[in-house]
Structures are given as structure tokens and as C-alpha cells.
Amino acid sequence: MPEKFEGPEKPKNPQEQGKETNDSEKVITLPNREEMLARLIKVSDNSHLQERFYPILLKVAGQERVPQGIVMMLALAIHDYTEGMPPMIANLMYMQAPGFIDALVTDPEAAKEAKDRLQEVLGGK
């Protein structure tokens, strides 16, 4: 029987706090809600983002993710935020995604890996 897929957002063994999974991906702990919001506002203080996009991201504040999980988190949030909007709006959000990654991921290596993964899925590599 196949194992249940739990996605890349969780480390394989949460008891090991070495900050790396068995796949050598760094585990990123997202900031708490207050800190996360402050960091996002530094990227863009647009009132519409503060009212509608940032609350989507704040739902995962304090959780752990690997770099690919950060990309998935942003992609899902962008999808939810831009639903019903012109497709160009999603493209504009993806243009800001590297800034959101830098704001939320303090480890430069992990941030670079997340941005590299983002480029891969956007067709840049």
C-alpha cells in the first residue's frame, strides 16, 4: 500500500531539530504572525495586499517549510488572492515573490534555494 503523501512542507522527522531533512533541504521556520506581517509590509505596503493577500500568508505563520514548501505556499496564496482577477495580476504577484521569499526566509542559502525553485516552476531554468 502506498504511503500517504504529506507534501514537502513538513520535515521527515519533526523530532530532529537539526534544521535539515533527510534530503538535505533546510527546514525553514516561518516568523510569527506579527513579525511576518511586518516583514511583508516592508516588501510592499499596498493596502489591498495588506487586506487580502497577507492574511492568506499569515495563516501559516510559525510553521515549518522546506524551500519547495515556501514556493508552494506562495503559489497557493497567489492563486487564492488573484482568483477572479485578470491573469496579469498573478504575473505581477510572481514578480514580487522573490521579495516575499527574502522577507520570510532569513537563511540566505534556503532563500536562494526557494528562489531557484520558484524560477524552475516559472520556466526560468
- How many domains, the chain? 1
Q: Is residue 1 part of a domain?
A: no
- Looking at the DSSP bridge assignments, the partners of residue 65 are 28
Q: Is residue 51 part of a domain?
A: yes
| Grid coordinates given for 110 | 534556503
Q: Is residue 8 part of a domain?
A: no
**Tens-digit pLDDT profile for residues 66-89:** 999 999 999 999 999 999 999 999
For residue 47, pLDDT beyond 50: yes
Maximum alpha-carbon separation in the chain: 49
| Grid coordinates given for 71 | 514556493
Q: Is residue 19 part of a domain?
A: no
CB 34 within 8 A of CB 40: no
Triad 113, 117, 120: Cα angle to 5°? 140
For residue 63, pLDDT beyond 50: yes
Q: Is residue 24 part of a domain?
A: no
CB 105 within 8 A of CB 28: yes
For residue 106, pLDDT beyond 60: yes
